[in-house]
Amino acid sequence: MRYLAILKDSLVQTLDCKSLYVMLIISGLFILLCASISYSPLDERGAIQGTVESFRVVHHVKGLDVQTKLLNVTLAIGDVTKDESQNRPSYAFRLTVTGADEWRKLVRTWDAARRMAIDKEGKVPDIDVELDEELEKRFLRMRFRERMIPEATVARVRHDGDVREFDVTIRPASAGTFAGAYRVNIMFGAWSEPLKSPFNVAMFLFVIQSFLSEWCAGLVGVGMALMFTGGFVPNMLQKGSLDVLLARPVHRVTFLLLKYLGGLTYATITSVVFIGGSWLVLSARSGVWNHGYLATAGTLIFFFAVLYSVGVFFAVVTRSAIASIIVPFIVWGGTWVLDLVRKILLKAEVAMPKTVGLLLDAFYYALPKPSSLNDVNGYLMAKGSFGAALEGAEMQIPDIAWAPVVLSQVAFVVVMLALSCWIFSRKDY
Amino acid sequence: MPVIEVRDLVKHYNNVRALQGVTIAVEKGEIFGLLGQNGAGKTTMVKILLSIVKPTSGLALLLDRPAGDVRAREKVGYLPEDHRFPEYHTGESALDYYGALSGVPGPERRKRIPEMLKLVGIEDAGKRKIRTYSKGMKQRLGLAQAMIHNPDVLFLDEPTDGVDPIGRKQIRELLVYLKSQGKTIFLNSHLLSEVEMITDRVGILELGKLRRLDTVANLTVQKDIYELKLSGSFDALMPEIQRRVKGLRRIEGGIEVDVENQEKLNALIDHLRANNVALAGVTQKKQTLEEVFIKTVEERGPGAAPATT
């Protein structure tokens, strides 16, 4: 009962904050904007044309990042013949590729990327070596598979200077529309644009959701939540206010931990409303239910929990709302820079004294890791959006080191809260 | 058995000796007043009993449990000086919160909250946010939160602070009523006239040391000073009276005398009667608690700084 009372008190405090309503209204506007986005499929020929155009883009993994290359090759389809004699329709057409050099680079880069053969400088092996027909055909078959078209028959019919022609027959995984060519309508149709290659709906959603999760919620949302909740614990610790509480038959540690949970309640409400609401409307409108984006709500709450534990610690030490608000921002900025510097140094394989490397690692593992948590978010969303397609194409999104990122930050929260509790339980007020 | 007991209680804040070996025991059903200047150690003592402050040494027992024991606070209510209630609460929701923290079950809270608000005279403001309350209303709410869980012991630090004279009278009556219900009340106050009116015993702290501890009656009595109400002319006898006493002062309808002992008083009365001066009444002179307090403090010097180690 006592524990619920403290949580309820935090909720009352949260609901009393006008800031919560401001954040909920802003979230509502974003959700409305998301709800205004709709997609209309193009006709089948347009869909197939959009699909083959997307082949011009190739991705390869470099460290934790996915590098994207767009090659200047023209891929055009001729008339499409549809065969509906079987349970799933098939489509036959001629594909004309113009731009032999760029075509060669495209296929070689794709091939090297899937074999993880691209070196750290981005050099692609055999990039100048002429393509053989089998590799070209494999490229086309696999690229169709990535676009949920598991069956593709390819025959090269022309190989003449700058131009190549292929006779292609494809059979998509479902009798529905193609995934790669849609018209996107924003603000309930006030602005409308066809989704051009390399975007399909999933990719378009990925970009929107990345923006919402990393910038709107991850930066602005967490920042606002830190500002608005920074006063919770210092308010409790105010002279006169604290005396009334400490005279109750409740352990001090209980008060502090439940007040901390009260702050998390605020972050949880706003995150769940913002991410959950935008996920629901974006998914319902697009038909792409990216559970990875939904999972970033958890990451955001976790990230807030890490920084908020810093605020609670400084609140207990100083009883100052200003310190409790400002210090988490300083820690956030400082560790973001540190995280980034470490990442750059690791990527560049800069030779540095062993002690410096050890110190960087020590700070990295001991402190919050905002940049790495962004990577986790990106991974979750990418996995949610493209996991099935990539796995179908026998490709994997590279795993990131979850355990060190998450566990070290859990340890950080535990240490900060344990120190806060220890000080709070011993201090005279 | 005392419900509040401190023995040789010592508290040092860095180099400030806030309490220097204080020993007090308060019995059940008693209203005890602790007096002292600012910084005398009154609030520190209460805070030690409520485990808000840790003692440096000595013993502090509350309802027969060590002061740090959480269970000791289950039947204790506290109104601190300069209290500040969360302004996002209404009067009702604040009482609900504090009641729940003190372990009062929901149905009982729903019954007690209106009762408490009525008892302290703010029943019409229960649904208003505390931020709209006046200082006096907050003080009344403070009393209500201290009583919401029907505690056996109440610690009240300046309970009438900011309350108008009518409100102060109501609070005094409330405290007397609580005493009649068997509650023990530990009162810190600067308003000595009020303390004198309602307390059974008083302790006077000065610079962390307990200087006086006694009933109000014993503290205020002035030994060997009497007021004699006389009828008839006694002007001619004044020189002889002056010779027989240590001090003499004319008052309306008689004299005030300071005698060495009761025998001298009886001899003086005999002398007056022998000279046809009738005695209408004899009263032992009392002093106010304020006078006692000031006298006690002035023995050391008013406004002296707290002792340092």
Query: In terms of CA atoms, which chain B residue is nearest residue A18?
Result: B88
For residue B276, being part of any structural domain is answered with yes
What CA–CA distance (Å, rounded) separates A286 from A195?
13
DSSP B244-294: HSSEEEEETTEEEEE-SSHHHHHHHHHHHHHTT-EEEEEEEEE--HHHHHH
The per-residue pLDDT for A70 is: 86
Total Cβ atoms within 10 A of residue B170 = 17
The verdict on B227 and B164 lying in the same domain is no
For residue B296, being part of any structural domain is answered with no
The verdict on B67 and B110 lying in the same domain is yes
Contacts of B101 in chain A (CB under 8 A): 2, 5-6, 245, 248-250
The verdict on B62 and B187 lying in the same domain is yes
Q: Is A128 on the interface with B (CB under 8 A)?
A: no
At A342-372, the pLDDT tens digits run 888 877 777 778 888 888 888 888 898 888 7
Cβ–Cβ < 8 Å for B226, B194: no
Q: Three-state SS for A319? A: coil
The verdict on B118 and B259 lying in the same domain is no
B80–A249 C-beta distance less than 8 A = no
Q: In what order do the strands lie in the sheet with B76-79?
A: B76-79, B153-157, B184-188, B31-36, B201-206, B209-215
Q: Which residue of B10, B43, B52, B78 is the best one to mutate when testing the A interface, meaning the one whose CB has the most A CBs within 10 A?
A: B52
Q: Is A1 on the interface with B (CB under 8 A)?
A: yes
Query: What DSSP character marks residue A58?
Result: E
Contacts of B81 in chain A (CB under 8 A): 240
DSSP A95-147: EEEE-HHHHHHHHHHHHHHHTT---TT-PPTTTTSPPPHHHHHHHHHHHHHHT
Name B57's Cβ contacts closer than 8 Å, sequence gap at least 6: B8, B9, B10
Q: A13 to chain B nearest CA, in Å?
A: 6
Chain B residues whose C-beta sits inside 8 Å of any chain A C-beta: 13, 47, 50-54, 70-74, 76-78, 80-86, 88-89, 93, 97-98, 100-103, 105-106, 142, 145, 155
Contacts of B154 in chain A (CB under 8 A): none
Q: A15 to chain B nearest CA, in Å?
A: 9
The per-residue pLDDT for B309 is: 45
B155–A5 C-beta distance less than 8 A = no
Q: A217 to chain B nearest CA, in Å?
A: 27
Which of A17, A249, A428 has the CB atom closest to B71's CB atom?
A249
B76–A247 C-beta distance less than 8 A = yes
Q: Tell whether the model's pLDDT for residue A394 goes beyond 50.
A: no
Q: Three-state SS for A398? A: coil
Amino acid identity, residue B39? G
Contacts of A239 in chain B (CB under 8 A): 82, 84
The verdict on B79 and B203 lying in the same domain is yes
Total Cβ atoms within 10 A of residue B126 = 19
For residue B308, being part of any structural domain is answered with no
B52–A429 C-beta distance less than 8 A = yes
CA end-to-end distance (rounded Å), chain B: 34
Q: Residue B244 sits in a domain of what CATH number?
A: 3.30.70
A8–B54 C-beta distance less than 8 A = no
A244–B83 C-beta distance less than 8 A = yes
At A147-195, the pLDDT tens digits run 778 889 999 999 888 999 999 999 876 665 454 567 788 888 888 766 6
Q: A182-186 and B184-188 as β-strands: parallel, antiparallel, unpaired? A: unpaired
The verdict on B87 and B208 lying in the same domain is yes
At A126-139, the pLDDT tens digits run 889 999 999 999 99
Cβ–Cβ < 8 Å for B170, B178: no
Query: In terms of CA atoms, which chain A residue is nearest residue B50?
Result: A247
The per-residue pLDDT for A177 is: 44
Angle made by CA atoms A120, A121, A123, in degrees to the nearest 5: 100
Query: In terms of CA atoms, which chain B residue is nearest residue A8?
Result: B97
Single out the residue in B201, B218, B235 at which a domain terminates: B218
What CA–CA distance (Å, rounded) separates B27 from B199?
13
What CA–CA distance (Å, rounded) separates A204 from A286?
10
The per-residue pLDDT for B114 is: 97
The closest alpha carbon to B185, from B170, B169, B202, belongs to B202
For residue B307, being part of any structural domain is answered with no
Cβ–Cβ < 8 Å for B63, B77: no
How far from the centroid of its chain's Cα atoms is residue B79's Cα?
14
Note the helical H segments in A319-353: 321-348
CA end-to-end distance (rounded Å), chain A: 25
The per-residue pLDDT for A349 is: 74
Q: Is A18 on the interface with B (CB under 8 A)?
A: no
At A325-346, the pLDDT tens digits run 999 999 999 999 988 888 888 7
The verdict on B99 and B166 lying in the same domain is yes
The verdict on B140 and B231 lying in the same domain is no
Residue with tokens 């060669």: A104
The verdict on B158 and B188 lying in the same domain is yes
Tell me what the mean pLDDT of segment A388-410 comes to: 68
Enclosing H/E stretch for A91: strand A90-98
Residue with tokens 């920074």: A230
Q: Which residue of B79, B101, B153 is the best one to mutate when testing the A interface, meaning the one whose CB has the most A CBs within 10 A?
A: B101
Contacts of B78 in chain A (CB under 8 A): 243-244, 247
Query: In terms of CA atoms, which chain B residue is nearest residue A240?
Result: B83
Burial B80-116 (b: 16+ CB within 10 A, else e): bbebbbbbbbbbbbbbbbbbbbbbbeeeebeebbeeb
Q: Residue B194 sits in a domain of what CATH number?
A: 3.40.50.300
Angle made by CA atoms A172, A176, A182, in degrees to the nearest 5: 95
The per-residue pLDDT for A369 is: 86
B103–A2 C-beta distance less than 8 A = yes
The per-residue pLDDT for B46 is: 95
Q: Is A3 on the interface with B (CB under 8 A)?
A: no
A12–B88 C-beta distance less than 8 A = yes
The per-residue pLDDT for A198 is: 42
309 residues of chain B, pLDDT tens digit each: 799 999 999 999 988 899 999 999 999 999 999 999 888 899 999 999 999 999 999 999 999 999 989 998 999 999 998 899 999 999 999 999 999 999 999 999 999 999 999 999 999 999 999 999 999 999 999 999 999 999 999 999 989 888 888 988 989 999 999 999 999 999 998 888 888 889 999 999 998 999 999 998 888 887 788 889 998 888 888 999 999 998 898 988 899 999 888 888 999 999 999 998 988 899 888 888 888 888 888 876 555 555 554
The per-residue pLDDT for B137 is: 93
Query: In terms of CA atoms, which chain B residue is nearest residue A234?
Result: B86
Q: In what order do the strands lie in the sheet with B16-26?
A: B16-26, B4-13, B57-62, B65-66
Angle made by CA atoms B69, B50, A314, in degrees to the nearest 5: 95
Residue A369, phi-psi category: left (phi > 0), alpha (psi -120 to 50), beta (remainder)? beta
The per-residue pLDDT for A27 is: 92
Residues 248-287 of A with CB under 8 A from B: 248-251
For residue B300, being part of any structural domain is answered with no
Contacts of B84 in chain A (CB under 8 A): 238-241
Name B270's Cβ contacts closer than 8 Å, sequence gap at least 6: none
The verdict on B83 and B134 lying in the same domain is yes
At A257-308, the pLDDT tens digits run 999 998 998 899 899 999 999 999 999 988 888 888 999 999 999 999 999 9
Q: How far is CA A320 from CA A133, A230, A316, A325, in A?
A: 71, 9, 8, 9
For residue B303, being part of any structural domain is answered with no
Query: In terms of CA atoms, which chain A residue is nearest residue B79?
Result: A244
For residue B119, being part of any structural domain is answered with yes
- Helix, strand, coil % (nearest 5) of chain B? 40, 30, 30
Cβ–Cβ < 8 Å for B220, B196: yes
At A367-384, the pLDDT tens digits run 988 887 788 888 888 777
* Residue A316 CA neighbour count, 13 Å, CB half: 24
The verdict on B24 and B63 lying in the same domain is yes
At B89-138, the pLDDT tens digits run 999 999 999 999 999 999 999 999 999 999 999 999 999 999 999 999 99
Residue B41: domain span: 4-218
Which of A4, A241, A249 has the CB atom closest to B86's CB atom?
A241
- The phi, psi pair for A238, rounded to 5°, reads -65, 145
The per-residue pLDDT for A181 is: 60
Q: A163-171 and B57-62 as β-strands: parallel, antiparallel, unpaired? A: unpaired
Contacts of B148 in chain A (CB under 8 A): none
Tell me what the mean pLDDT of segment A30-39 comes to: 92
Task: Tell me: ipTM over 0.85.
Answer: no
For residue B292, being part of any structural domain is answered with no
Angle made by CA atoms A286, A113, A150, in degrees to the nearest 5: 50
Name A423's Cβ contacts closer than 8 Å, sequence gap at least 6: A316, A317
Domain total for chain B? 2
At A60-102, the pLDDT tens digits run 776 667 778 888 999 999 999 988 888 778 999 999 999 999 9
B105–A243 C-beta distance less than 8 A = no
Enclosing H/E stretch for A10: helix A2-16
The verdict on B133 and B255 lying in the same domain is no
